[in-house]
């Protein structure tokens, strides 16, 4: 008959001291990492803003084709808003997103307000609206020849 030996006490589990050390290390790491992740704009929120701008550009292109006249999307960089006349609705972009507009010199209305113009045949003056938050950015491009709107990472 074999005799069973009891395990030594230190082999049974972890001590309270070990548990406290691990918890304090986890709290220290969380205190450093969480502030760097929070407070900014999420990637999904940035992508959603890019999609909203692209939808506005497509609406302006559709208006130009259907009405057989020029249509445009007006964007205010400082206010982070855009409008597609004659629709009176003002579309607001999140405050923490940086907005840049690249368009034809003739379509710059002011220092911080500009437009992207679409023509009746579907073409455009071309341009790009860049939405950025930190290192992440999305470019909403408008092809000058076809008026095609594309979102680029």
Query: What is the predicted pLDDT for the residue at 143?
Result: 95
Phi–psi pair at 146, nearest 5 degrees:
-100, -20
CATH 3.55.40.10 fits domain 43-152: yes
Structure tokens at 78: 């400082």
**Domain residues of the chain, as ranges?**
43-152
How would you write the pLDDT of the chain (153 residues) with one tens digit per residue? 566 666 655 566 778 888 899 999 999 998 887 666 656 778 889 999 999 999 999 999 999 999 999 999 999 999 999 999 999 999 999 988 999 999 999 999 999 999 999 999 999 999 999 999 988 999 999 999 999 999 998
Which region holds residue 44: left if phi is over 0, alpha if psi is between -120 and 50, else beta?
alpha
pTM of the model: 0.74
Which region holds residue 68: left if phi is over 0, alpha if psi is between -120 and 50, else beta?
left
Q: Please name the residues in contact with 51: beta carbons below 8 A apart, sequence gap of 6 or more.
A: 151
């Amino acid at each position: 008959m074999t005799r069973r030996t009891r395990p030594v006490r230190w082999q049974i589990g972890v001590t309270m001291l070990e548990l406290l050390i691990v918890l304090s290390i986890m709290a220290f790491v969380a205190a450093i990492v969480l502030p760097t992740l929070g407070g900014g704009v999420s990637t999904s929120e940035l992508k959603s803003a890019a999609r909203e701008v692209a939808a506005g550009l497509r609406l302006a292109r559709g208006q130009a084709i259907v009405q057989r006249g020029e249509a445009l999307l007006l964007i205010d960089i400082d206010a982070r808003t855009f409008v597609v006349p004659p629709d009176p609705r003002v579309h607001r972009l999140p405050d923490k997103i940086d907005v840049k507009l690249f368009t034809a010199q003739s379509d710059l209305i002011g220092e911080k307000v500009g437009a992207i113009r679409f023509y009746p045949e579907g073409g455009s003056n071309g341009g790009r609206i860049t939405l950025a938050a930190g290192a992440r950015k999305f470019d909403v491009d408008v092809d000058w020849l076809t008026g095609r709107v594309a979102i680029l990472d």
